[in-house]
Chain A
Amino acid sequence: MNILVCVKQVPNTKVTKIDPQLDPKTNTLIRSDIPAIANPFDEFAMELAARVKDAHEGVQITVLSMGPAQADAVLKQCLSVGGDHAYLLSDPAFRGSDTLATSFILSSAVRYLEEKEGRFDLIFCGKQAIDGETAQVGPELAEYLGYAQATYVTEVTAQDGGVEVNRETADGYERIWVQYPAVLTITKTAYEPRLPSIKSKLASIRAVIPTFTAKELGLDPEKCGLKGSRTKVIRSCNPEKKAGCMKIKEETGAESAHKLFDLLHSEHII
């Protein structure tokens, strides 16, 4: 069985509170100065894929990312926790891609890899990236490939011919069966992403990650990056911060509660 995991390197919002800086020409994000991590949902996706590999014989996991050269760090991280092969898609022509251009580039890379190594039965993506937060690339990748899909997945049981998944709904979850080949987008699961062993960590540091450009994938640059995008950012800004908090501190907690209630009620909030 062949599995592909798509991962994205994103700014690390855990260590710094960031006011993202924008390129005034394109209104797109300047990413270079921000410390980066693997998108948390992609780590959950990688862990679910690794669990499928643990449970079945002969599972191969390929990991794919698109981004600048330093994005090979997240690919190496995935190699240290169960990934067998990794590829980076990197080209200045990819910069500024919206979700449609991104999923087009990814789908072209999937076809390129499938031609060489055989079909992927399952493609795992994080539900969304914590920077863009669109949740569109997974379904758009599935559509470009013509594959089945399930989104908001928390559990995966691989079977013959298809996969059984739990999918989060507004008020609970549903169990659905999805035919191979399928794209699954993974939300937060009960499985904390595993840590690498010292041996696997060292091996991943030494790994050389092959990088593909638009030319190697045979891509028309007109379909990539800003040119290939169907949405255009016309304005962007850092939203205004709130004026400040009105702190309520009466003699007792109950008295503070009364005061809060009076304030909320008089402002017609409740």
Chain B
Amino acid sequence: MSENKNLWVYVECAEGHPKKVGLELLGEGKKLAGKIREALVAVLIGHHMDEAAKECIAYGADQVIVVDHQQYAHYKTDPYTNALYTLMEKYRPNIMMFGATNNVRDLAPRVACRAGAGLVADCTSLSLHEETGKIAWTRLSFSGNLMATAICLDTAPQMGTVRPGVFQKGEPNLERTGTMIHEEIQLPEGQIRTKLLESIREAAGSMLKLEDADIIVSGGRGLQKAENFSYVKDLADALGAAVGASRAAVDAGWIPHVHQVGQTGKTVGPKLYIACGISGAIQHQAGMSGSDVIVAINKDPEASIFDIADYGIVDDLFEVLPALTEEVKRLKAKD
């Protein structure tokens, strides 16, 4: 599709701030756009977006397209789909990249289907396909046991979502300049088929979200009771890490489901994952085996978590965790 051009990154925002994964994608998008000699365009939909738009330019966007209206203050499927699809029709991008968050996994397939375009989900690496000059989207499936690379066919744009944390966020350059386009798009209220009644924040301990974290400390059945999650939270706080949990800990009611990592929870890929008192069932591994470095702390030397760990301590976590927390605190105090 030669008439389609430019690489778009949809930068999701919450309360006017870009999500980290959007900025990570601007860095990677810049490299890919350079290789195919096209412009990098950040697309933002939300309300009070001026600062976010400037930030996108600082992180590498050549152009920012902003749809800013009260209607977009909170994510809703119908108006967001309409706004993004309207922009696609008008500007005809060649490539669209998204960070694979809950809201994007609601929005991107809806938009892709409206455009009749292929969409590759939850990619963990991107490259250029030599033969076609298209983006080669690589993803894991099958609980991390199958790695497949796909290209989008025939239709444009080529679309894919990328897991948070796969790419490093670059350094912002506040001197950079770029063009800013404001588009007025609204969906008549009568065509919005959902109503937000209430929004409830539930994350315990450190407010850092699993998807944004470079380090995750997770607790499982070995913690024995709800109060003992403090051992995990203390280490997480010292490291500036997010708190994760196994299904066993969530099912026991020790911590809300938003913290669950695994097949029926979240899939994460941080730089460091510390599993405390987690046996490492295949369902848990499915959610975290893509982590760069895995540390396992477990009393049971036969626990299957050690099969995928890089470092393991076979010992009582109630002895290990406080000592590790102290070491980390001492290090941070020095910095």
Residue from the list A137, A170, A258 in contact with B327, Cβ < 8 A:
A258
Residues of B near any A CB (own CB < 8 A):
77-78, 81, 101-103, 105-110, 112-114, 116-122, 129, 136, 140-155, 193-203, 207, 209, 211, 215, 239, 256-258, 260, 263-265, 267, 271-272, 282-283, 286, 293-296, 301, 306-324, 327-328, 331
Smallest CB gap from B281: residue in A: A14
| Distance to closest chain A CB from B179 (angstroms) | 31
Q: Is the CB of A245 within 8 A of B296?
A: yes
Contacts of B151 in A (CB 8 A): 231-232, 234
Residue from the list A135, A238, A269 in contact with B147, Cβ < 8 A:
A238
Contacts of B321 in A (CB 8 A): 257
Contacts of B152 in A (CB 8 A): 230-232
Q: Is A233 an interface residue (CB 8 A)?
A: yes
Bound CA–CA A151/B102 (angstroms): 8
Interface positions of A from 10 to 66, Cβ below 8 Å from B: 11, 13-14, 17-20, 22, 27, 29, 40-41
Residue from the list A149, A172, A242 in contact with B110, Cβ < 8 A:
A149
Contacts of B239 in A (CB 8 A): 270
- Which of A86-94, A205-213, A246-254 lines the interface with chain B? A246-254
Residue from the list B119, B155, B198 in contact with A175, Cβ < 8 A:
B198
| Distance to closest chain A CB from B143 (angstroms) | 5
Interface positions of A from 145 to 175, Cβ below 8 Å from B: 148-152, 154, 164, 168-175
Residue from the list B110, B119, B145, B215 in contact with A238, Cβ < 8 A:
B145
- Which of A68-76, A115-123, A259-267 lines the interface with chain B? A259-267
Q: Is A142 an interface residue (CB 8 A)?
A: yes
Contacts of A242 in B (CB 8 A): 294, 308-310
Q: Is A202 an interface residue (CB 8 A)?
A: no
Q: Is the CB of B311 within 8 A of A263?
A: yes
22 contacts between A and B (CB under 8 A): A13-B143, A19-B145, A20-B142, A134-B109, A137-B109, A143-B113, A164-B197, A168-B258, A170-B258, A172-B256, A173-B202, A174-B199, A178-B193, A230-B155, A234-B150, A235-B149, A260-B311, A260-B324, A264-B293, A264-B295, A269-B272, A270-B272
